[in-house]
Amino acid sequence: MSSRPAAVLLVVAALATPALAATGEYLFHAAGCAGCHTAEDGPPLAGGRRFDTAFGTFYSPNITPDRATGIGGWTRERFVRALKHGERGDGAAYFPVFPYPSYRLLSDDDAAAIHSYLQSLPPQHHRNRDHDLPWWLARWMLHPWQWWFMDDPPQPPADAELRRGWYLVDALGHCGECHTPRSSTGVSIRARYLAGTRDGPDGEKVPNITPQPRDGIGRWSADDLAYFLETGALPDGDYTGSLMSEVVDNTTSRLSGEDRAALVRYLRSVAPVEGP
């Protein structure tokens, strides 16, 4: 008779896996994984997108479940360690162009759900180029970097009403990876949280999105912001360009209305800071 609980468990597990993958799919979009891991005209999520940075040129890896060239066969633990701790299977560290300094704020359950979703996708056999880095930059240097800069993660706001919005901005949406300026060691400057920068990714200007009335979003209504995040339309009727239109397409337009409202509420609550 002991086979009945086992059978029930099997059924529960079979039902739970697609449900977890569906949760993972929503989180995957909210975390904006797709754009970085898909090259122009390349197979989806098979990597190869190029990132020119002050620290060299990086190419994203294949995150489809192909065993030879992707993350097929990765255990959940290995995946969660990569996403949240920037740690490779062999113990070496990832470069923070992979925004794990933001993803470390994800819950383990959410990271695991993203893993389930990725494992449910079709594998793409596709090998990518190695990074092209200056002679002085090596992976081993990342361990002291992580040790030094990742010990003190940002804390969620005390107000429970703002926590979901914070999670969407800081953990999933990693908005600060572009909107918060960095020090010369590549670390986000907390006192200038979301205040914008003149030298963002691709060397372009990234605007101030704190509620500062002069050059931030202080004069935008909550509806302006929600509409912008859904459609990319600015209050003056123009459309956002470049990197942000990708964020809108891949990420903020795919959030539920409730989540978008939570994100807006949080964004309007952060400390106003003068732009760059």
Residue ranges binding ligand HEC (CB under 6 A): 31-33, 36-37, 51, 58, 60-61, 63, 71, 79, 82-83, 88, 94-95, 97-99, 103, 114, 169, 173-175, 177-179, 200-201, 204, 206-207, 209, 217, 228, 234, 240-244, 247, 251-252, 267
Min CB(228)–ligand HEC separation in Å: 5
Q: Indicate the residue among 15 and 234 with the shorter CB distance to ligand HEC.
A: 234
Min CB(12)–ligand HEC separation in Å: 26
Min CB(266)–ligand HEC separation in Å: 9
Min CB(237)–ligand HEC separation in Å: 12
Q: Indicate the residue among 21 and 244 with the shorter CB distance to ligand HEC.
A: 244
Min CB(6)–ligand HEC separation in Å: 33
d(CA 242, CA 248): 10
Q: Indicate the residue among 8 and 28 with the shorter CB distance to ligand HEC.
A: 28
Q: Indicate the residue among 82 and 112 with the shorter CB distance to ligand HEC.
A: 82
d(CA 127, CA 174): 27
Residues recorded for the chain? 276
Min CB(11)–ligand HEC separation in Å: 29
